[in-house]
Amino acid sequence: MSEADRQKKKPRVIIVDDQTVVAAGVRKLIEPDCEVVACVEDGRALLAEAERLRPDIIVMEVLLPSLNGLDAARHLARTVPESKIVFLSVQGSSWHVAEAFKAGASAYLLKRSQPSELTQAIHAVLMGQWYLTPLVAKNVVKNRTTGSQGHSSSPGWSALTPRQREVLQLIAEGRGTKEVASMLKIAVKTVEFHKFRIMDQLNLHSTVALTKHAIVEGLVRL
């Protein structure tokens, strides 16, 4: 879609958040300027709806059930590269911000950002620009100056493959091996192998330890 075409009609938006009240608030805020074509509550539902609807904008949280926002964004960058991703999240660490932009995001805001920032960010990305909320920008500059990243990701975590992260998230959400296998369309033995490899790489020895690790790393919500 050309920039001229975007100017002639409202941008089509998918809102992704597992907190219904938040999603409703975002919808009310942006609908004067945008057409909300879908609201979904988890990362896997987003992948299906994004491919079906091919929206101009996706406003999404980092912490999503079934598939976290960062890994969902990586999928979307391949399947619907024309869709611009705007993160609106509770996660404000420099690490999350950096990973979001690496995954293909065009904007990053916090849920405590000013409401006007969201419409500003949408307008910016539609014009091919980037947007980073000042609340996060201050931390990024501070951490670059001090050499801190605001989030320490373990070597084992960084080494996990996308499939391993998917398995880890689903296990941490309390899903059994058979359910994980069904959701990912892989064999139960494959899930068990991934779980073993994850525990080995992260030096963890139980499902409880895996869950705690996923929570600390911001992969799942308490």
| Overall pTM > 0.75 | yes
At residue 78, the 3 state secondary structure works out as: helix
Per-residue model confidence (pLDDT) at position 142: 57
Mean pLDDT of the region 161-183: 93
**Residues 90-109: tens digit of each pLDDT:** 988 888 898 999 999 999 99
| 155-216 has the same fold as 3-146 | no
Model confidence at 7, pLDDT cuts 50, 70, 90, reads low
Comparing C-alpha atoms, which of 136, 135, 126, 137 is closest to residue 58? 126
Per-residue model confidence (pLDDT) at position 93: 85
Comparing C-alpha atoms, which of 9, 131, 111, 98 is closest to residue 60? 111
**Residues 29-49: tens digit of each pLDDT:** 999 999 999 999 999 999 999
Model confidence at 183, pLDDT cuts 50, 70, 90, reads very high
Per-residue model confidence (pLDDT) at position 92: 87
Q: Return the CATH number of 155-216, one of 3.40.50.450, 3.40.50.300, 1.10.30.50, 1.10.10.10.
A: 1.10.10.10
Locate 124 and state its tokens: 């910016």
Per-residue model confidence (pLDDT) at position 145: 45
For residue 1, pLDDT over 80 is answered with: no
Neighbouring CB atoms inside 10 A of 167's CB total: 28
CATH class of this structure's domain 3-146: alpha beta
**145 Cβ partners below 8 Å, 6+ apart?**
none
For residue 177, pLDDT over 50 is answered with: yes
Model confidence at 221, pLDDT cuts 50, 70, 90, reads confident
Whole-Å CA distances, 111 to 32, 43, 101, 147, 217: 20, 18, 17, 26, 19
What are the structural domain ranges in the chain?
Answer: 3-146, 155-216
**Residues 122-170: tens digit of each pLDDT:** 999 999 999 999 998 876 655 554 455 555 454 456 678 889 999 999 9
Per-residue model confidence (pLDDT) at position 219: 76
**Residues 52-78: tens digit of each pLDDT:** 999 999 999 999 999 999 999 999 999
Locate 83 and state its tokens: 């869709």
Query: What is the percent of the chain where pLDDT is above 70?
Result: 86
